[in-house]
Structure 1
Amino acid sequence: MNSKELFTEDLSKFTILIVDDNEDILDFLRDDLEERYTVLTATSGNEALLQLEEQIVHLIISDIMMPGMDGLEFCDYIKSNFELSHIPIVLLTAKNSLQSKIEGLDAGADAYIEKPFSPEHLNAQVASLLNNRMKLKDYFANSPLTHIRTMAHTRMDEQFLEKLQQLIESNLSNTLLDVEFLAQQLNMSRPTLYRKIKSISDLSPNEMINLTRLKKAAAMISEGHHRMNEIAETVGYSSLTQFGRNFHKQFGMTPTDYIKKMGH
């Protein structure tokens, strides 16, 4: 498989929400993007917000000029809303002025495209934003010592991820540690927590808990003065074999290989 095929295949799991009050533009964009992505549409900012309550959306494309809540207000709302702030936004505008670009970037837009635009340009911009996020997620999941905040794109998300990690790490030996427990501690509904973690990391809450266990184990191994059974027990494994198997599956090496790699 060449890299282009891999690129396309990986991106097919993403959902894009297009927001525009012009039905013709909505249809045009949907037809163009549906070959690669799952596409949702909305004709207003308020309708888009209802969709975002129900769906995991990975990227938003929004027109600026809309009645009611315009694209700048919509973008500003998304970027200042804790549950949604991680979603990248591409703003479309007919305005060809520096001032409107500055307003868009002030509202937190991740990219800005002027109308009329070529579908190729929009596709390239969308693919670039999604691909960069995907690389960060993969890097976090596969690198034993990479910190959780590498996946954050806003200060709000950085604070959320650090709080999430601290909460999991301080409860590694707690048999009640699951998505229900995390949702209660973070004062969030279970579906909201699931959507937030899944969108930022591509992991379910349970996968995030398991990965945090293994990363804590990797950090303890790197310190070089803990016995393996002590590490396994500390991060919540009663079986050393199961711990070794999960570590290998996640990081592509056994704990013993990792010890050698760290030079201990």
Structure 2
Amino acid sequence: YISKPFNLDILLLRIQKLINEEKARQKSFSQGINIDPGEVTITSVDEQFIGKVCAMIRKNMDNPEYSVEKLSADVGMERTVLYRKLNAIAGQTPSDFIRSIRLKHAAQLLNKGYQVGEVADMVGFNTPKYFTKYFKQAFGVTPSQYKVNL
């Protein structure tokens, strides 16, 4: 909130801080393993939205057929609106968001001692090879290496 009349320098500084906060939230979401909607959002409406999206993804975690179309139907939004909203809040496309939630859950399961093949099935990847490819892309190591480095 900036009261009127306002100084242009103060307005520009406030805008820059908001942009930096948004980038920091997006970075923390994309790099963290824990999924906490409160860390990603700035308003309670956004937090509720992310919470609902995460709940739908968790509910369908082991379903490899769960797609952006099904997510948008579950959330009650058109696909394009969902795309814009997730991109604005989390800095990711809906398909990337679904994959990142699955991979973060996979990392948590690997921490609990599950085998790589089991985890791939539990988080909705069709094959361990496909799972390994995206896990390595997200975390920089293969699931097996991740499990050994615990």
| Range of TM-score over shorter length | 0.7 to 0.9
- Native 8 Å contact 2:37 2:51 kept in 1: yes
**1:236 aligned to 2:124?**
yes
Secondary structure of 1:184 counterpart: helix
Backbone CA RMSD of aligned residues:
1.9
Alignment length (residue pairs): 150
2:124 is the alignment partner of 1:246:
no
**What is the distance in 1 between the residues matched to 2:36 and 2:148?**
22
Report what 1:257 is aligned to: 145
Residue by residue over 1:120-164, the C-alpha shift from the partner in whole angstroms, topping out at 9 and shown as x without a partner, is 332221111111111111111112224243112222222221111
Mapping for residues 39-188 of structure 1, pairs under 5 Å: 111-118=1-8, 120-188=9-77
1:206 aligns with 2:95: yes
Q: TM-score, normalised by structure 2?
A: 0.87
Q: Say which structure, 1 or 2, has more relative contact order (CA 8 Å, 6+ apart).
A: 2
> Once the 2 structures are TM-superposed, how far is the Cα of residue 253 of structure 1 from its aligned partner?
2.8
Contact 1:145/1:218, CA 8 A, preserved across alignment: no
Q: Distance in 1 between matches of 2:121 and 2:6?
A: 60
Bigger Rg, structure 1 or 2: 1
Partner residue in 2 for 1:58: none
Letter in 1 for 2:106: A
Q: Unpaired segments of 5 or more residues in structure 2? A: none
Q: Which runs of structure 2 are paired with 1:183-198 in the superposition (5 Å)? A: 183-198=72-87
TM-score, normalised via structure 1 length: 0.52
Question: Deviation at 1:238?
Answer: 2.4
- The list of structure 1 runs, each at least 4 consecutive aligned residues, that deviate by more than 4 angstroms after superposition, is none
Q: CA deviation at 1:247?
A: 1.1
**1:254 partner amino acid:** T
Change (3 A) 1:137 1:176: same
Q: 1:220–1:231: 8 Å Cα contact kept in structure 2?
A: yes
Contact 1:144 1:251 in 2 (8 A): no
SS for the counterpart of 2:7 is coil
Higher strand share: 1
